[in-house]
Structure 1
Amino acid sequence: MSSRNTLDLAEIRFLHRQLASLLVYQSVLADEVGSSFLQLLQALYHSDGGEASALVCLQAYGNWFKNLAAINVSWQDYLINQIIVADNPFSQQAQIEKFASLPPALIAAAEHDLQALHSLYKCSSYQMSRWVQTMCNLSVTPVFWNQEPQESTHHELLIRTRLQQGNWADAVKDLASYYRQCGVGIFAKYFAFRWQAGQLVGIAYPDQVKPTDLFGYESQKAALVKNTEFLIAGYPALNVLLYGSRGSGKSSLVKGILNKYSDRHLRLIEVAKSHLQDLPTIVEQLRGLPQKFIIFVDDLSFEEDDDAFKSLKVVLEGNITARPQNVVVYATSNRRHLIREFFEDRPRPSDADEVNSWDTVQEKLSFSDRFGLTLTFEPADQNTYLNIIRHLAQQAHIQISQEDLAYRALQWATRHNGRSGRTARQFIDFLNAELKMPDSSV
């Protein structure tokens, strides 16, 4: 073996040992990209220059290349991303404790691991490609994956810059500060979630609606914004019921609030009515985390014999366990009284089934009052509807006369779902596509 090959093998052996020595950051290489990198490193380490080992190296390199291309980031950006969202004993404690309070052994372990991972960071995709060329005796260097740095939030950019400036072990304090501000694991990676099969599932592509996209209901919008800012600032915030006519933008407003404040560590968890019994469990998982959470329940209502409201009642009012100050419930409904009530439910003098039957009625009627803030969304009149249409048409850069726009919008509302923000959005989307569609007769 040539001296160059001997030198390459020594560098590969060094990286192998660095990875094997990780103490708390093992999860950094636990996904497909990390696993394929480890397989490639092992294939290079065991390569003997023969045809069989060359094929193993080439296949391992192709698999690693494919996995990097699938996430469309460079190897260096991938490593930093994994460190930023790392969920391990160091990051978990750093997000809730001041750096000075962390166990010295845990800090030392993090410093050791960051030093080891820095060695991987300095091993570029080009370097790996060159090693494959050498070990497999190729005449040309295999194509190597490279990608421009991805966009980052302000806090991510700061920690990226810090890591790129020098020895990663020296950045352990800054990294701990980042975890304390931004959280770790799934809450650092996503800002929208749904509760599914007993666990939180991150939503990679949440609805990008913004509060400025919604026209009308300005007082309701301002109240929800103010309440959310209380939550973000760490002050007591109220649970909110948004109720009113269908299609008025209640759900879109909640999603818009998330998009407005996601860079200030606001998170939203969508919980279906069928999973309301899990609410106490969800809330306890969020207690003590640095992020602020909106538990979002859409289209809320209960049948007469539905006991799911009891779980929501516990979260709204609390029990012997104090309600965490970083969690609020935002619920939407088309009903002011969330539990259906029938005239036959009301007690008559002849009733003998329940002594205090009026108490049962009052419990049903007053359930919505347990939300600290109730925002009412009245049905849109014709003038409001047309104002929404004009607002959306301006955003979509639709170029038709105001008279024609109003006429077609009113015709659409008559033939479809009536006057509402949802109907207006559907009309504008249809009109925009219709105007941009090439004439099929041409």
Structure 2
Amino acid sequence: MTGRRDLWERIASALDRLAPPVAAPVDWLSHCAYVWDGGSARPIVALETVGLAKLRGIDEQKSAILANLKRLAAGAAAHDMLLWGSRGMGKSALIRAAIDELASGDDGGVALVQITSGSLPRIADLLVELGGQERAFLLYLDDLGFDSGAAQDNLALRSLLDGGVMARPANVRLAVTSNRRAIVARDWDESNARHERDERDNALALADRFGLTLGFHPCDQETYLEILRAYTDPLDIEVDEEEALRWTIARGSRSGRSAYQYACELAGRAGLKL
């Protein structure tokens, strides 16, 4: 009997070693942001942000997003948001900065939950979990663009926004950033056949489901320099405007991102942190 018991104990021990560890429950009330991969969530201790004050040239977008998130934090009706437009003009930065701004409010703010690529089909599991929390959440999909044939993700997101059997919790809303308002594949060709036109129609149907749609457009020279000085003035760094404009020409882009990158270059030359 002893030998048989030892055998079963060895088998049980081996199975314990092979079995994956049970994931610890997520504390959804203690952090300002999380990353969800379709099966588990990882808390973000400190949210990377440049701060709202340094985001220039997008004042209307800032006001609209802050007002919408304040409604969500207060338990009032709030919109899903689509932020679309030019690369580097602050779409993602504005979402992070707004969440960080609200974190110090009396209502506890809104927790950001970034959804990783490929996890949309399992989003219902996350909604069930978040719906039971005494907190508001903003699900965040960054740089969304469906490649040709990725109908599953498209349908999952459309169902989440509107028309799904499962009702979405009132404390959960969605923010999506995309370089195109229609959220179509980046290699879209208008001369493609009927199948491609159907995909475009699906993408447009998805974009129409957002209650708040905000465009981010290329900045002019004056705005670019204003954004740049928002970074350099607090450091007492002098800006050579001609060199600053040559920087954008070399990169083929005049945007908030290129302004930040040039400010980083100037701060590095001066031995300063940005």
TM-score (norm 2): 0.81
Structure 1's 299 and 405: CA in aligned 2 closer, same or farther, altered over 3 A? Answer: same
Which of structures 1 and 2 has the bigger CA Rg?
A: 1
Distance 2:33 2:251 in 1: 31
Query: Is 1:434 matched up with 2:272?
Result: no
Amino acid at match of 1:366: A
How far did residue 358 of structure 1 move? 7.1
- Cα separation, 1, equivalents of 2:132 and 2:65: 24
- Give, in angstroms, the shift of residue 206 of structure 1: 2.1
Find the residue that maps to 1:376 and give its secondary structure.
strand
Matched, 1:384 2:223: yes
What does residue 259 of structure 2 align with? 424
Task: Indicate conservation of the 8 Å contact 2:29/2:135, yes or no.
Answer: no
- Where does residue 296 of structure 1 map in the other structure? 140
SS at match of 2:68: helix
How much has 1:302 moved relative to structure 2? Answer: 0.3
**Would you tell me which structure has more helix in proportion to its own residues?**
1
102, 110, 114: which one pairs with 1:261? 102
Q: What does residue range 238-277 of structure 1 map to in structure 2 within 5 Å?
A: 238-263=79-104, 264-277=108-121
Secondary structure of 1:343's aligned partner: coil
**1:326 and 1:248, CA in 2 relative to 1: closer, same or farther beyond 3 A?**
same
Match of 1:217 among 34, 49, 58: 58
Cα deviations across residues 17-42 of structure 1 (Å, max 9, x unaligned)? xxxxxxxxxxxxxxxxxxxxxxxxxx
Residue type matched to 1:324 in 2?
P
Q: CA deviation at 1:197?
A: 5.9
Q: Is the 8 A contact 2:54 2:227 kept in 1?
A: no
Task: Using the TM superposition, give the Cα deviation of residue 321 of structure 1 relative to its aligned residue in structure 2, in angstroms.
Answer: 2.2
For the aligned residue pairs, the C-alpha RMSD in angstroms reads: 2.1
Give the match for residue 129 of structure 2: 285
Separation in structure 1 between the aligned mates of residue 85 and residue 227 of structure 2, nearest angstrom: 17
Determine the structure 2 residue equivalent to 1:315: 160
What residue in structure 1 maps to residue 15 of structure 2?
none
Cα contact 1:339–1:367 (8 A) shared by 2: no
CA contact (8 A) 1:209 1:259 kept: no
Q: Is the 8 A contact 2:61 2:214 kept in 1?
A: yes
Q: Secondary structure at the match of 2:241?
A: helix
Is the Cα contact below 8 Å between 1:271 and 1:295 reproduced in 2?
A: yes
> 1:305/1:360 Cα in 2 relative to 1: closer, same or farther (>3 Å)?
closer
**Cα distance in structure 1, aligned partners of 2:70 and 2:29:** 20
Tell me whether 1:342 sits opposite 2:189 in the alignment. Answer: yes
Offset at 1:344? 4.5
Gaps in structure 1 of 5+ consecutive residues: 1-86, 88-184, 348-353, 438-442
Rate the CA distance shift 1:227–1:415 in 2: closer, same or farther, 3 A.
same
Match of 2:28, SS state, is helix
Report if aligned partners of 2:38, 2:122 keep a CA contact under 8 Å in 1: no
Alpha-carbon distance in structure 1 between the residues aligned to 2:265 and 2:198: 50
Contact 2:86 2:218 in 1 (8 A): yes
Measured after TM superposition, the shift of residue 363 of structure 1 is 2.6
Number of residue pairs matched by the alignment: 242
Alignment partners' CA distance in 2, 1:362 and 1:346: 13
Q: Deviations over 1:407-436 (max 9, x none)?
A: 221121122352110110111111012023
Residue identity in the other structure for 1:200: A
How far apart, CA to CA, are the structure 2 residues paired with 1:358 and 1:380? 31
Of Structure 1 and Structure 2, the greater strand share is in: 2
SS at match of 1:274: coil
Unaligned runs of 5+ in 2: 1-24
Structure 1 pair 286–318 and aligned structure 2 pair: CA distance change class (3 A)? farther
Deviation at 1:271, TM superposition (A): 0.8
How far apart are the structure 2 equivalents of 1:429 and 1:358?
43
Q: Which residue of 1 aligns with 2:19?
A: none
* 1:50-199 superposed matches below 5 A: 186-196=27-37, 198-199=39-40
Q: Distance in 2 between matches of 1:417 and 1:345?
A: 29
Q: 1:394 to 1:303 in 2, by over 3 A?
A: same
Counterpart among 11, 33, 46 of residue 205 in structure 1: 46
Deviations along 1:236-274, one digit per CA (max 9) or x if unpaired, are: 111101011101010000000110112324100111222
Residues 388, 421 of structure 1: 8 Å contact kept: yes
Deviations 1:193-249 (A, max 9, x none): 001361011112320332112111111111111111110111111110101110101
Q: Aligned pair in 2 of structure 1 residues 389, 265: CA closer, same or farther (>3 Å)?
A: closer
